[in-house]
Structure 1
């Protein structure tokens, strides 16, 4: 088998890749269909999947190179039409390689129309030491729309003994509901400074789950707090503003982060979307 890391390291010295993906989902009778599937560069969805029937269309976003190097630019735009329901995930962890003096960027724009739902559940992102990455995400919800989304960030490769000693990851995320800004967050994770209480408090993995569309009743929130407990050297918390629920985790293990975020999703999905939580098969391979 070829050494994909070596291939991507070689690519770093050449022209960066520009990749974009535009997806459009719409309601057709009792089925959600993938109507638009346009891509440029190494970023694509192969086909629509229906593991839980026609109501929900699942799609797996694939980045064939297997990793992102300094200078690569990724753009993803997704629109979900009225009353449609889409779930997007990835086949494995996203790897962000060394910067080589160049900044990598990913911009995600998600549009969810009236009475529609979008679940954005990519697997974890792993940032190699010295990676310089800019992440931007904008979510626009129409009245009556729902969004459930998760991200897991792994700083360095703990299994290989690598720490994130230099480089940076900058994030910016926003959610609009019926044209009104209801969530805005930005921050920077700096290599070598993750021990700060304003950063990750010495942890190497952080995870965030967001749910927007309608408030979760206090008893449901309390039940989640009682049911989900982070054990060992891990932290977990969940809270709710007027329009957005947020759950966060700090730890050292991506599997633990995934387990906790999955537990939040499994409890919220039946209430917010009136559907049982069926774990995407690709997460189990």
Structure 2
């Protein structure tokens, strides 16, 4: 079909925003702000661990992110509140002729705790995904953060041979930069198979948690990293613990993160790790 020269062809895109706020009221953490625009929502807040920990499940109803889409999520956790945020399933970034974007802004006040525990991000071949995350911690605020990225769809025989994945992550405490990271993986780049890159593994995961652990607990965590299904390790930095792994499947990487969470959460946050029910559905 021929179109007039002045007719612009375009692909519909979504611009979605979600703004969340939480406060501590006596012994209970409660939502204080829930504003959305476009296809981003949270389900009813849950208290699987009692009133102190408020859990929300972030839902993106379209089920995938296409070229031109933009997701903006901001969360503010007030003093002494405790919030756990997760997702009901994998985030899928579809192949596209143009870039798609996600921006996270997470703010955690003094005495507060934020657990950012989404399920995996699947980046299809030919996708153009750009993610930016900024986390601001105040005083003694605590953070437990992870992400799992799967490039392509190996189970379907799809290699990440076109497109790109780009991620920026900055963590500040009282305005001082604690962590500054930039990632850019281009389809079919030599680093996908290089031993100094992803070593042929299509899945990589990162865990970042505030605090410090002793040598005995670090060794127990490293024993998990020696599991045959992942290749990973941990590092203790000033005020931060960093863990990374490579895997053949997202399920293996996520299982490794959950096992680390079960060891580190009691030691650093003072609570046993109770997995959200949504992870089992």
Normalising by the smaller structure, the TM-score range is over 0.9
Matched, 1:104 2:100: yes
C-alpha RMSD of the superposition: 1.3
| 1:9 aligned partner | none
Secondary structure, aligned partner of 2:140:
coil
Runs (5+) with no aligned partner, structure 2: 1-8
Matched, 1:69 2:66: yes
Cα–Cα, structure 1 residues 141 and 132, in superposed 2: closer, same or farther, change >3 Å?
Answer: same
Matched, 1:229 2:223: no
State whether residues 72 and 102 of structure 2, in contact with CA within 8 Å, keep that contact through their aligned partners in structure 1.
yes
Match of 1:205 among 203, 206, 231: 203
Number of equivalences:
271
Match of 2:44 among 40, 44, 47: 47
Matched, 1:120 2:116: yes
| 1:277 aligned partner | 273
Match of 1:178 among 158, 170, 174: 174
1:230 CA drift (Å) = 2.3
Structure 1, residues 28-85: CA drift from partner, whole Å, max 9, x if none?
1100001101000001112211111000000000000000001100000001000000
State whether residues 228 and 263 of structure 1, in contact with CA within 8 Å, keep that contact through their aligned partners in structure 2.
no
- Separation in 1, partners of 2:262, 2:10: 43
Matched, 1:253 2:249: yes
Runs of 4+ in 1 over 4 A off after TM superposition: none
1:254 CA drift (Å) = 1.0
Match of 2:261 among 244, 265, 281: 265
Normalised to the residue count of structure 2, the TM-score between the two structures is 0.94
- Separation in 2, partners of 1:225, 1:268: 12
State whether residues 189 and 199 of structure 1, in contact with CA within 8 Å, keep that contact through their aligned partners in structure 2.
no
Cα–Cα, structure 1 residues 227 and 134, in superposed 2: closer, same or farther, change >3 Å?
Answer: closer
Secondary structure, aligned partner of 1:239:
strand
1:14 CA drift (Å) = 2.8
- Separation in 2, partners of 1:238, 1:228: 8
Secondary structure, aligned partner of 2:222:
helix
Structure 1, residues 189-214: CA drift from partner, whole Å, max 9, x if none?
111121134431211000111102x2
Larger radius of gyration: 2
- Separation in 1, partners of 2:208, 2:222: 15
Structure 1, residues 86-116: CA drift from partner, whole Å, max 9, x if none?
00000000000011x2100000010000010
| 1:33 aligned partner | 30
